[in-house]
Amino acid sequence: MKCCNIWEVFDEKNNLIKEYKHWKLLVRNVNTTLGNCLAITKRHMERFSDITEEEMQEFARLIKDVEGSLKKSFSYDKINYLMLMMRDKHTHFHILPRYASLRKFAGLEWKDEDWPKKPGDFKESVPQEVLNKVKEEIIDNL
């Protein structure tokens, strides 16, 4: 039974980086910064407090994986996590690498417009060809 459309919203088919037992890691299709990802629970939960110990332990492993890969891939300066769930009421975290200076990747210049303040609004969609390159870079460094 389908309980929400989170997988369509974030385009799992094209943007999946890695599937874990309880979580999926995706590159974000509307980016704020280079390498912006999502960690989404496979089980539908509208409250993070419903998480099991096993899901939480796996989340810790996912975080270690993604932080290591993003550091190797794009050399971020800081990393932010946002769990807003205002529109998409399915437990998920936005993983935002932050950059003090301009980065160049896939023929584009990526500037963290909000550095060093809190992340601003999500920017426009990134073309899928570029997202595929970002995704492959992250996968290569997992």
29 near 106, Cβ under 8 Å? no
Which pLDDT tens digit goes with each residue over 42-98? 999 999 999 999 999 999 999 999 999 999 999 999 999 999 877 778 999 999 999
pLDDT at 120 (0 to 100): 80
91 near 51, Cβ under 8 Å? yes
Residue 36 within a domain: yes
Q: For residue 4, name the pLDDT band (cuts at 50, 70, 90).
A: confident
Residue 26 within a domain: yes
Residues 103-109: contacts with CB under 8 Å, at least 24 apart: 103/34, 103/74, 103/75, 105/34, 105/74, 105/133, 105/134, 105/137, 106/130, 106/133, 106/134
CATH of the domain at 130: 3.30.428.10
Q: For residue 3, name the pLDDT band (cuts at 50, 70, 90).
A: low
Residue 120 within a domain: yes
Q: Which domain holds residue 22?
A: 6-140
pLDDT at 1 (0 to 100): 38
Distance of CA 62 to the CA centre of its chain: 11
Residue 108 within a domain: yes
Residue 142: is its pLDDT beyond 50? yes
b/e map 77-90, b = 16+ CB within 10 Å: eebbeeeebeeeeb
Which pLDDT tens digit goes with each residue over 98-139? 999 999 999 999 999 999 999 887 777 789 999 999 999 999
Which pLDDT tens digit goes with each residue over 5-34? 999 999 999 999 999 999 999 999 887 899
pLDDT at 89 (0 to 100): 87
Residue 1 within a domain: no
How many domains does the chain divide into? 1
Residue 91 within a domain: yes
Residue 10 within a domain: yes
82 near 48, Cβ under 8 Å? no
What does pTM read for this prediction? 0.94
10 near 40, Cβ under 8 Å? yes
